[in-house]
Amino acid sequence: MPWSTLLGPLPRSPHTEMSTWFSELCESTTGYPTCEMAIYGGRLAATPGLAFLAGYQAALRALLPSAPRSIGALCVSEQGSSKVTDMQTRLINGHISGHKDFVIGGHAAQWLIVLARDEADQHAPHLTAAWVATDSTGVTLQAGPTLALLPDIPHCSVGFSQAQCKVLAGDGWNDYSKAFRTLEDAHVLAALCAWLYGQSLLDQWPQELQLKLLAVLAGLKAILQQPHTEAATHLLLAGLLAQFTDLHPPITQALNTYSCQTTAQAWQRDKAILEIARSARMRRLEVAQNALGLI
C-alpha cells in the first residue's frame, strides 16, 4: 500500500460495530504487510479503541501469518498472572483444559492462540501454543464487565474442557508470548499514531506536530521490516516509544485546542493502553542494550 494512500486524505469508516469494521479493514488490506494493516486501520478507526484493535489484530497476523480473516486473541494470563509457574491450563493429547482471563474482542473472537503447559510430571514447566476455534466443543466464553479503558472493545474470559486444538510449532513462551509483546507494542503504536495523524488532518492541527507523527510512523514501518527477535529491533523500538512519549504534551494541547471535547476525552482515557506492560518493555530494552554491548 503506497504511502500516499496511508497519509493522504482518508475519511473515517462509518462502521463502528467491531466485527463489521474489522471485515472492512481486512478487505482493504489483503496482501499488504501487517504494519500497513495497522496504519490503515488507525486511519479508518473512529475511536482509539478501534485503532487499538487494528494494531492488535495486525500483530497477531505478524505472529501467525496463517491466521484467518476474523477476529482472534492471544490468551496467556490466568488469575491475573502471566508467570509460567502460575498457569494451570494443560495441553494433553491435542486437547486443552483450563481457564484464561482475557479474550480481547469478547464473543466476537472466532479463534484463539492459547498458551498451555505440556511438560511431563517432575519436569520443569514448559509452554506450548495451540490454535483453538471458539465454536469448538468444550470452549466457553464468559463476558466480562465494561472496562474504563477502551470501553468500545469488549472482552471476556474463556474456559476449556478437553477442547480440541491444533498445536503450533515452536516454544510457547519465546516464540509466542514473548514475541507477541514486541509485535503488539509496534503495531498498536502504529495504529494509534495513525489515528492521531488522521485526527490532525481532520482538525487541522499544527503542521509541525503532524510531521512528528509521520516520523514515528515511518520509523515503525522500517522497524517492522526487521526480525522482531533481534536486539537492534528492540532498541530501535524503545527509541520510537520514547519519541512518541515526548509528543504527549503537544498532542494533548492540540486535542484540547482544535478537536472536539469527546475526541479529546477519548484519547486521554485510552492512551493509558500504551503504559500497560511498561516493566516488560524496560526489561526488553535492558536485555537489548546488554546484547549490543551498550551497558
What is the reported pLDDT for 269?
Answer: 96
pLDDT average, residue stretch 2-12: 92
Q: Is 230 a residue whose pLDDT tops 90?
A: yes
What is the reported pLDDT for 57?
Answer: 98
Q: Is 123 a residue whose pLDDT tops 90?
A: no
For residue 168, what is the DSSP state? P
What is the reported pLDDT for 122?
Answer: 75
Distances (CA, A) of 82 to 48, 116, 208: 26, 11, 41
What is the reported pLDDT for 120?
Answer: 83
pLDDT average, residue stretch 142-154: 92
- Total residue count of the chain as it appears in this document: 295
For the ranges 113-122, 134-143, 216-225, the lowest mean pLDDT is seen at 113-122
Going by pLDDT thresholds of 50, 70 and 90, the confidence category of residue 168 is: very high
Going by pLDDT thresholds of 50, 70 and 90, the confidence category of residue 215 is: very high
pLDDT > 90 fraction of the chain, expressed in percent and rounded = 92
pLDDT, the chain, mean: 95
Instruction: Give per-residue pLDDT as tens, 38-58.
Output: 999 999 999 999 999 999 999
Q: Does domain 72-167 have CATH number 2.60.40.10?
A: no
CA neighbor of 240 nearest in space, from 182, 176, 180:
182
Going by pLDDT thresholds of 50, 70 and 90, the confidence category of residue 105 is: very high
Instruction: Determine if the pTM surpasses 0.85.
Output: yes
Ramachandran angles phi, psi of 19, nearest 5°: -65, -40
Ramachandran angles phi, psi of 120, nearest 5°: -75, 165
What is the reported pLDDT for 243?
Answer: 97
Distances (CA, A) of 83 to 40, 75, 93: 34, 13, 23
Q: Where are the domains of the chain?
A: 3-63+175-291, 72-167
d(CA 241, CA 192): 12
Going by pLDDT thresholds of 50, 70 and 90, the confidence category of residue 273 is: very high
d(CA 223, CA 233): 6
Query: Please, what's the b/e burial string for 182-213 (b: 16 or more CB within 10 A of its CB; e: otherwise)?
Result: bbbbbbbbbbbbbbbbbbbeeeebeeebbebb
